[in-house]
Amino acid sequence: MAYDSEWRFSGSRRVPRPERVEICEQCGKRVGMSYPDCPLCFDAIERFWLADWAALLEIEQVDAGMPDETLLAQVVIEESERHPWTVVDMAMSLLRCGTCGNELGSRYNECGECGMAFGSSLVSEYGATMNEHALHIGRWVLRHKQQHGENSIIGWQRTMPRVLTGWLPTTPEAQQMGKRIKDGELDVVDEWLAEVDRQINAKADLN
Ligand SMILES: [Zn+2]
Ligand SMILES: [Zn+2]
């Protein structure tokens, strides 16, 4: 398969990001917070991956849901360095791990084959922004909660709705947030994030 270099760097860039942090009509939390359990939150995050996968299906003239799609996913894993991280992630979501039998990549902390696949998707981030890296890691943590501690999940559930808009905490902010979560001071964290939302949404109003 021949792809131009632009293809490799296209991860998550086909769909415009939301400008505002909004409340999810389905779960009542900030949009994206309840990924993957709430269908609307799931879609708010997954659509960036699905758009890139759909673009690959179109290039390869493969129909979604057909056996060819699984074959294509296998080819993507074998030549992962030629694809954007979103496409490598989608291929993993379509495949089962030959070692542990779970979704490929989903047991990356405990299964060697899953760990290799996860590593490939990180390598495919080449050229991604820090925010795109956060989007990538956030989806992994929330999608595969059994691989992570509760505090990490609490942190990512709270940052993802803001990361979606292009926001990132500074290093001291992230450290402070981690400490507050560890100390169980979630109300302080949520108060601070509400202020972050006001700033993000005020900026969107100016546009
Ligand atoms: Zn929701
Ligand atoms: Zn595995």
Q: How far is the CA of 42 from the centre of ligand 1 (A)?
A: 7
Q: How far is the CA of 118 from the centre of ligand 1 (A)?
A: 26
Q: How far is the CA of 43 from the centre of ligand 1 (A)?
A: 9
Q: How far is the CA of 89 from the centre of ligand 2 (A)?
A: 14
Q: How far is the CA of 78 from the centre of ligand 1 (A)?
A: 34
Please state the length of the chain: 207
Q: Which ligand is nearest the CA of 99, by number?
A: 2
The answer to whether the CB of 108 falls within 8 A of the CB of 117 is yes
Output the DSSP codes for 91-122: HHHHSB-TTT-SBTTTTTTT-HHHHHHHHHHH
Q: Which ligand is nearest the CA of 35, by number?
A: 1
Q: How far is the CA of 29 from the centre of ligand 1 (A)?
A: 6
Give the pLDDT of residue 5.
Answer: 80
Q: Which ligand is nearest the CA of 108, by number?
A: 2
Tell me, yes or no, if the pTM score tops 0.85. yes
Give the pLDDT of residue 9.
Answer: 87
Q: Which ligand is nearest the CA of 160, by number?
A: 1
Give the pLDDT of residue 49.
Answer: 98
Distance CA 139, CA 133 (A): 10
Give the pLDDT of residue 131.
Answer: 97
Give the pLDDT of residue 2.
Answer: 60
Give the pLDDT of residue 31.
Answer: 98
Spell out the residues 6+ positions from residue 40 whose beta carbon is closer than 8 angstroms to its own. 24, 25, 26, 27, 31
The residues spanned by each domain of the chain are 32-129
Q: Dihedral angle at the C-alpha atoms of 149, 154, 156, 157, nearest 10 degrees?
A: 130
pLDDT per residue rounded down to tens, the chain (207 residues) = 567 788 888 899 999 999 999 999 999 999 999 999 999 999 999 999 999 999 999 999 999 999 999 999 999 999 999 999 999 999 999 999 999 999 999 999 999 999 999 999 999 998 899 999 999 999 999 999 999 999 999 999 999 999 999 999 999 999 999 999 999 999 999 999 999 999 999 999 998
Give the pLDDT of residue 1.
Answer: 54
